[in-house]
């Protein structure tokens, strides 16, 4: 892996760390590296913990590419959508340790995974696409529809409301809050518990539980990016 994505195995768990030294913007390079790390995790069949750098989980898609528009932007968003769909279908549990800010695609990663721990602090979590002049992609709408709690969906998507970690838990972005000191340890402990599951039956049941959302997200990807 590169300096932006690191991979290590610890007991029954794989830890994948995003750290580009900045805001962890989702670029083509990071997507390639993250998919390679997930490939390896899938080969070994171990539960995944995905964590960002301290204070920053991910600020979303690389704005330098997004501001270019055209095919480069469309390809980046399409590849991000395919990553979300992969995570929804992933054969082992994926636990996110949201180490700080999670905006746009960073927040969509939270909605794509199985269990999300956040850090209690002065951090921003949410889908800010509309606030920065971007129409929310179909796949993002369907992820939010499937994972956010009633009463928060329109606020989060249509009016780009940004949440604190505490209110993000109420909205449905997060499942649990930790401190920055215990975040990774808490995520590892949960992942070790998940590792005791039979992964064949886990995956089959996960697909049944998420069948409607997976179909809706896949349809959104095809509708928006079918030609890419």
Running DSSP on this structure, what letter comes out for residue 13? Answer: E
How many angstroms separate the CA atoms of 12 and 114, rounded? 17
* Interval 104-119: pLDDT, tens: 999 999 999 999 999 9
Residue 102 has pLDDT above 60, yes or no: yes
Residues 25-38 have pLDDT tens digits of 999 999 999 999 99
Mean pLDDT of 74-91: 97
Q: Give the dihedral sign, CA 42/115/59/145.
A: positive
Specify which residues 95 forms β-bridges with.
Answer: 49, 115
**Helix extents (H) in 47-119:** 63-66, 70-88, 105-112
Nearest to 60 by CA among 107, 94, 118: 107
Phi first, then psi: give them for residue 10, nearest 5 degrees: -135, 105
Confidence of residue 228 (pLDDT cuts 50, 70, 90): low
Q: Is residue 188 part of a domain?
A: no
Q: How far is Cα 206 from Cα 210, in angstroms, rounded to an integer?
A: 6
* Residue 141: inside a domain: yes
Phi, psi of 127 (to 5 degrees): -105, 100
Look at 1-15, 94-108, 190-204 and tell me which has the smallest mean pLDDT.
Answer: 1-15
Q: Is residue 59 part of a domain?
A: yes
The verdict on residue 69 lying in a domain is yes
Mean pLDDT of 68-79: 94
Over 70: is that where the pLDDT of 2 sits?
A: no
Q: Are 48 and 18 in contact (CB under 8 A)?
A: no
Going by their DSSP bridges, the two strands 47-51 and 55-58 should be labelled as: unpaired
- Average per-residue pLDDT in the chain? 96
- Number of structural domains (the chain) is 1
CATH number, domain containing residue 173: 3.90.226.10
What pTM, to 2 d.p., does this model score? Answer: 0.96
- Looking at residue 1, what is its pLDDT? 45
The residue range of the domain holding 156 is 5-183+194-225
């Amino acid at each position: 892996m590169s300096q932006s994505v690191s991979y290590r195995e610890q007991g029954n768990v794989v830890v994948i760390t995003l750290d580009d030294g900045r805001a962890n913007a989702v670029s083509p390079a990071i997507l390639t590296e993250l998919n390679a790390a997930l490939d390896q995790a899938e080969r070994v069949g171990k539960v995944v913990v995905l964590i960002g750098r301290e204070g920053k989980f991910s600020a979303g898609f690389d704005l330098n590419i997004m501001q270019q528009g055209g095919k480069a932007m469309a390809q980046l968003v399409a590849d991000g959508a395919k990553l979300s769909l992969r995570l929804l279908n992933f054969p082992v549990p994926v636990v996110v340790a949201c180490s700080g800010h999670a905006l746009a695609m960073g927040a969509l990663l939270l909605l794509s995974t199985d269990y999300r721990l956040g850090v209690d602090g002065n951090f921003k979590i949410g889908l800010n696409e509309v606030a920065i002049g971007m129409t929310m992609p179909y796949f993002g709408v369907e992820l939010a529809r499937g994972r956010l709690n009633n009463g928060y969906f329109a606020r989060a998507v249509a009016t780009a409301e940004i949440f604190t970690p505490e209110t993000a838990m109420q909205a449905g972005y997060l499942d649990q809050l930790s401190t920055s000191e215990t975040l990774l340890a808490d995520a590892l402990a949960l992942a070790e518990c998940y590792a005791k599951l039979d992964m064949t039956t886990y995956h089959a049941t996960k697909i049944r539980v998420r069948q409607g959302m997976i179909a809706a997200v896949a349809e959104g990807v095809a509708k928006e990016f079918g030609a890419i």
